[in-house]
Amino acid sequence: MLLLRAVLLILVLPSHGEGTTEGPGVLPPLSKGACAGWMAGVPGHPGYNGAPGRDGRDGTPGEKGEKGDPGLVGPKGDAGETGVPGVEGPRGFPGIPGRKGEAGESAYVYRSAFSVGLETRVTIPNVPIRFTKIFYNQQNHYDGTTGKFHCNIPGLYYFSYHITVYLKDVKVSLYKKDKAVLFTYDQYQDKNLDQASGSVLLHLEKGDEVWLQVYGDGEQNGLYADNVNDSTFTGFLLYHDTY
């Protein structure tokens, strides 16, 4: 402000030699309107802040700081999906053999079997056929004096018979407890030896009896046997009952 006033004062003063009658050393008179013995005015009020300038450019990234302390452990996340199975690894070495186990109880083997044949062609209808030619009867469950098999071990049994037919027709049946359960009929062809057979599975209780016999009248008892032709009856236990 003071500088502005000094500039204005210089501009209003006359230059040397321009209408001047005073001698050297005499100050020229002040121009009209100038204040004699002037003083600086009171400083004015500060101006208002200007509008903020535009944002400057981002500075250069600073140096990486030191690693901070570990944070708190977060909650357990959900289980992810099962991954693809990996490649099977190499086979490992055999392990050390274990100790020998204790001996177990020996299992009891249930046995019941017989196989018999006819020694004569003389048979009586409607009574058990007595097969007296013994092939196997180690347990003695077949009685050759009666022609009946006696069940001593309850369970499932298999029975079969194979008979030679000669001179007459044959009608035979397999009985269980006085009831016929299987029938076989063969019509004899003149001057020929015929064959007939049958087989069946039966469940027997202890004390049951099984046998073969000719049924009908005496005209159907053509069972035959000699030194080259056999008529046989066989049976054996498949499975014993468990309790």
Which pLDDT band holds residue 102 (cuts at 50, 70, 90)? confident
Nearest to 172, CA basis, from 185, 161, 189: 185
CA atoms of 122 and 231, how far apart (whole Å): 12
Q: Is 136 helix (H, G, I), strand (E, B) or coil?
A: strand
User: Higher confidence at residue 157 or residue 76?
Assistant: 157
pLDDT at 22: 46
Give Cα separations from 66 to 20, 61, 63, 69, 70 (angstroms): 83, 15, 10, 10, 12
Check pLDDT > 90 for residue 207.
yes
Give Cα separations from 88 to 25, 82, 83, 91, 92 (angstroms): 120, 17, 14, 9, 11
Q: Which of 96-100, 127-131, 138-142 has the highest mean pLDDT?
A: 138-142
Contact 226, 190 (CB under 8 A): no
Percent with pLDDT over 70 in the chain = 81
pLDDT at 154: 97
Q: What is the mean pLDDT of residues 19-27?
A: 47
pLDDT at 37: 58
Which pLDDT band holds residue 16 (cuts at 50, 70, 90)? very low
Q: Is the alpha carbon torsion for 27, 32, 37, 42 positive or negative?
A: negative
First-to-last CA distance in the chain?
Answer: 130
Q: What is the mean pLDDT of residues 173-189?
A: 91
User: Higher confidence at residue 33 or residue 129?
Assistant: 129
Check pLDDT > 50 for residue 18.
no
pLDDT at 5: 65
Domains and CATH numbers, the chain: 113-240 (2.60.120.40)
The per-residue pLDDT of the chain, averaged, comes to 82
Give Cα separations from 107 to 102, 103, 141, 219, 241 (angstroms): 15, 12, 22, 51, 15
Give Cα separations from 20 to 11, 27, 150, 240 (angstroms): 17, 10, 178, 164
pLDDT at 228: 85
Tokens standing for residue 5: 């006033």
Residue 185: in which H helix or E strand, if any? strand 179-186
Which pLDDT band holds residue 19 (cuts at 50, 70, 90)? very low
